[in-house]
Structure 1
Amino acid sequence: MSNSACLNCIDLSEPDIHKSVSLLKQACEDSGFFYVVNHGISQELVDEVLAQSKRFFDLPLKEKMKLLRNKKHKGYTPILDETLDPDNQVHGDCKEGYYIGVEVPEDDPRSQKPFFGSNRWPSSDVLPGWRDTMLKYHEEALEVVKSISKIIALALDLNAEFFIKPEILGEPIATLRLIHYSDEVSNPEKGIYGAGAHSDYGLITLLLTDEVLGLQICKDKDAQTQVWEYVPPMKGAFIVNLGDMLERWSNCIFRSTLHRVIVNGQERYSVAFFVEPNHECVVECLPTCKSAANPPKFPPVTCSAYLSQRYKETHADLSVYSGNGV
């Protein structure tokens, strides 16, 4: 069995900001993963989100397929829909999911942008209170990410407000993803995973999980023999990790780490909150992260173009579901 990773824990109520910056900087340079506690979201809301998520996934497949994800990546993603590590997987991930993005009315010009628009919602007759719970959590989780981004900015020798400027996180692409892992036992030797090995695409991911062990990280993805360590759930804490976009921004000073989910025969539920900058935000090497010895490693790219390409690479084409009456 794999060992458990030893991760730093960032307390958002810590009055000594220098202590938090030091802990976070160490974590971001080491693995890009850390815990966050005293984040301000009530345990009651956290429990309700997990309970409402389970209620949705307990619905008959026919009901869930009525809410199949659209081209804006909003709605239901069936089991095997996503293949995160195609080189090593025999089929898609043994998980189903549900995407909830920023709610933008269809008559709003912003709804023409990728990932924006109206969400797909289960009927309130079927799942009463479901929509309100998810929107409340989406709103509160975004505030937590903004608080974390201030510490990240300071750790990169930037102004604390750098990431929450209007042109960066003023209208972010913030996506909530409910995830249910089936009880199919993972077998890496046979290419079967709850979620294949991958790094996240964007800026910051805020992860809520139930108490079932499953998430693993590999701190050195280039090692000849990859070493995988479990990240144990911690009651009342979020698991936070950095995405590839922040690795690009920081010129690889901060890490976007390979991770996967190994299922041991128990169903598992988690809620990932992916936060990326505004569509037009240009991600290019930060001034504090380049030098003569460390010139910029990546060309500038807009957030929207980068994300759209990454989603296209990992999700099944929607045409494969055309025979399902959706």
Structure 2
Amino acid sequence: MAGGSLDLPVVDLASPDLKSAVDAVRKACVESGFFYVTNHGIQDGLLEALFAESKKFFELPLEEKMLLQRNSAHRGYTAPYAEKLDASSEFQGDLKESFYIGAVGDVDMPNDPNQWPPKERFPSWKDTMKLYHAAALAAGKRILSLIALSLDLEAEFFQNIGAVDCSSEVIRLLHYPGEVNESDNGNYGASAHSDYGMITLLATDGTPGLQICREKDRHPQLWEDVRHVDGTLIVNIGDLLERWTNCVFRYYIFNMLCGIHHVCSS
């Protein structure tokens, strides 16, 4: 059941008023588990390049994309219908396609589990992903410092216990088809789910499609739209952070309609 648009709080990561930023993060994590961040340090030009590289790859024929099918290290391409986030869904699988990228070092790593499109066709792909990985990780650390302070912990708490090890960060490029077959009417790009990690940073191309449900045990469930706000990233907390806070911070389930590109960093 649709419930209109949801107004999420906006947190300025460059605000000189640290207490207000911390209070806003805590309120968001307790009430909805979602918020926007501004002044996150990821340049518009980098995001534009990231979406351009993503779009170029997803426009390839399926058989070419399958040459980089996700491996045992969970890096690479995942085709439509390969994942089904809501086990109760009547459909074969979710409509999204995705590409998973793990930690990207400054130099080529031996035994790198990442898979890369051919350099002759995607000359800027790897460098773009490296730049975005570094920028998203830096933004994530700033957000986690605010979350730590909101829990009356030291700002560097999560860094000091190794919870922000860059090797655990994953970039997911995702594409949701704009048109679907009649048999898929009612299906979702990504069916109802929560994220299992600490936090997810979500960048979108501006097309609406994200919906959240704040009362997951309600029947029928009420789904509210999350608007795109220029210059922001959307942040949501995951199952792990809810568990670590003994459910003081709450995650909420969400889904994705079709027709958008977005990038998750978690």
TM-score normalised by the chain length of structure 2: 0.93
Provide the secondary structure at the position in 1 that maps to 2:218: coil
Shift, 1:234, TM fit = 1.1
Shift, 1:103, TM fit = 3.6
**Residue of structure 2 in register with 1:93 after alignment:** 94
In the alignment, the residues of structure 2 paired with residue 183 and residue 70 of structure 1 have an alpha-carbon distance, to the nearest angstrom, of: 27
**Which amino acid counterpart does residue 173 of structure 1 have in structure 2?**
S
Deviations 1:146-192 (A, max 9, x none): 000000001111111111115222344100000010124599x9651
In the alignment, the residues of structure 2 paired with residue 103 and residue 14 of structure 1 have an alpha-carbon distance, to the nearest angstrom, of: 30
**Residue of structure 1 in register with 2:256 after alignment:** 261
In the alignment, the residues of structure 2 paired with residue 235 and residue 49 of structure 1 have an alpha-carbon distance, to the nearest angstrom, of: 16
**Residue of structure 1 in register with 2:77 after alignment:** 76
Instruction: Note if 1:215 corresponds to 2:210.
Output: yes
**Residue of structure 2 in register with 1:252 after alignment:** 247
In the alignment, the residues of structure 2 paired with residue 148 and residue 186 of structure 1 have an alpha-carbon distance, to the nearest angstrom, of: 40
Deviations 1:225-246 (A, max 9, x none): 2110000111110000000000
**Which amino acid counterpart does residue 35 of structure 2 have in structure 1?**
F
Note the 1:25-36 alignment, pairs <5 A: 25-36=26-37
Runs of 4+ in 1 over 3 A off after TM superposition: 103-107, 184-187
Answer yes or no: is the 8 Å Cα contact 1:29–1:253 preserved in 2. Answer: yes
Shift, 1:81, TM fit = 0.9
Deviations 1:186-221 (A, max 9, x none): 99x965111100000100100000111100000111
Shift, 1:106, TM fit = 6.7
**Which amino acid counterpart does residue 15 of structure 2 have in structure 1?**
E
Shift, 1:258, TM fit = 0.3
* Structure 1 residues 89 and 144: alpha-carbon distance in aligned structure 2, compared to 1, 3 A threshold: farther
Note the 1:154-303 alignment, pairs <5 A: 154-165=149-160, 167-184=162-179, 192-263=187-258, 267-274=259-266
Shift, 1:40, TM fit = 1.1
Provide the secondary structure at the position in 2 that maps to 1:169: coil
Provide the secondary structure at the position in 1 that maps to 2:191: strand
Cα RMSD after superposing both structures? 1.9
Shift, 1:125, TM fit = 0.7
Shift, 1:89, TM fit = 3.6
**Which amino acid counterpart does residue 139 of structure 1 have in structure 2?**
A
**Which amino acid counterpart does residue 240 of structure 1 have in structure 2?**
V
**Which amino acid counterpart does residue 117 of structure 2 have in structure 1?**
P
Provide the secondary structure at the position in 2 that maps to 1:102: coil
Note the 1:303-318 alignment, pairs <5 A: none
Answer yes or no: is the 8 Å Cα contact 1:90–1:190 preserved in 2. Answer: no
In the alignment, the residues of structure 2 paired with residue 81 and residue 192 of structure 1 have an alpha-carbon distance, to the nearest angstrom, of: 14
Provide the secondary structure at the position in 2 that maps to 1:158: coil
Answer yes or no: is the 8 Å Cα contact 1:186–1:262 preserved in 2. Answer: no
In the alignment, the residues of structure 2 paired with residue 171 and residue 58 of structure 1 have an alpha-carbon distance, to the nearest angstrom, of: 30
In the alignment, the residues of structure 1 paired with residue 223 and residue 180 of structure 2 have an alpha-carbon distance, to the nearest angstrom, of: 17
Structure 1 alignment gaps of length 5 or more: 112-116, 275-326
In the alignment, the residues of structure 1 paired with residue 61 and residue 144 of structure 2 have an alpha-carbon distance, to the nearest angstrom, of: 39
**Which amino acid counterpart does residue 150 of structure 1 have in structure 2?**
S
Q: Which has the higher contact order (CA 8 A, sep 6+)?
A: 2
* Structure 1 residues 268 and 203: alpha-carbon distance in aligned structure 2, compared to 1, 3 A threshold: same
Answer yes or no: is the 8 Å Cα contact 1:83–1:89 preserved in 2. Answer: no
Answer yes or no: is the 8 Å Cα contact 2:32–2:214 preserved in 1. Answer: yes
Match of 2:130 among 124, 132, 135: 135
Which is further off, 123-132 or 142-151?
123-132
Shift, 1:63, TM fit = 1.2
**Residue of structure 1 in register with 2:139 after alignment:** 144
Note the 1:7-86 alignment, pairs <5 A: 7-86=8-87
Shift, 1:144, TM fit = 0.2
Deviations 1:225-281 (A, max 9, x none): 211000011111000000000010011100111000123xxx31000001xxxxxxx
Shift, 1:224, TM fit = 2.7
Provide the secondary structure at the position in 2 that maps to 1:240: strand
Larger radius of gyration: 1
In the alignment, the residues of structure 1 paired with residue 146 and residue 137 of structure 2 have an alpha-carbon distance, to the nearest angstrom, of: 15
